[in-house]
Copies of this chain bind each other. A is one copy, B any other.
Amino acid sequence: MSRRSYDKQLDDARLKAMSDIFSALADPTRLRILTALAEGERCVCDLAEVTGVSASAVSHQLRLLRDRDLVAFTRTGRHVCYRLADDHVASLLEQGFEHAGERR
């Protein structure tokens, strides 16, 4: 995409969709969840341990990530296994990771 094409395509809805995606990535707890999922499937209680917050807090955050289609899940017994929804999410994480590394 050329930089010049923004003005033609950037309607409010697209802009809102972009900010929804970025705001989903704009929290350390959610980033811990997502980077953990980038390594493989994890159930809620595992994610609670990785992030260091309560299972309830993780569940709330997972709902947000589900609503934005950043994660998918499979129910197995009383566990629910979450995973990244697609490679695009991993790609965004990597870019943010690299960008953060270059600064300071």
Given A1-B94, A3-B38, A10-B35, residue A17 in contact with residue B104 (CB < 8 A):
yes
Given A23-B26, A28-B12, A96-B22, are A17 and B69 neighbors across the interface (CB < 8 Å)? no
A20 / chain B contacts, CB cutoff of 8 Å: 100
So how many copies of this chain end up in the complex?
Answer: 2
Report the separation of the CA atoms of residues A81 and B36 in the bound assembly, to the nearest whole angstrom: 41
Residues of the B chain whose Cβ atoms lie less than 8 Å from the Cβ of A16? 28
- Shortest CB distance A32–B (Å): 7
A92 touches B95 (CB 8 A): yes
User: What are the residues of chain B within 8 A of A18 when measuring CB–CB?
Assistant: 25, 28, 31, 96-97, 99-100
User: A97, B1: Cβ atoms under 8 Å?
Assistant: yes
Q: For the complex, what is the distance from the CA of A72 to the CA of B32, rounded to whole Å? A: 30
A22–B23 Cα distance when bound, in Å, is 7
Residues of A within 8 A of B (CB): 1, 3-4, 6-7, 9-10, 12, 14-23, 25-28, 31-32, 35-36, 38-39, 69, 88-92, 94-104
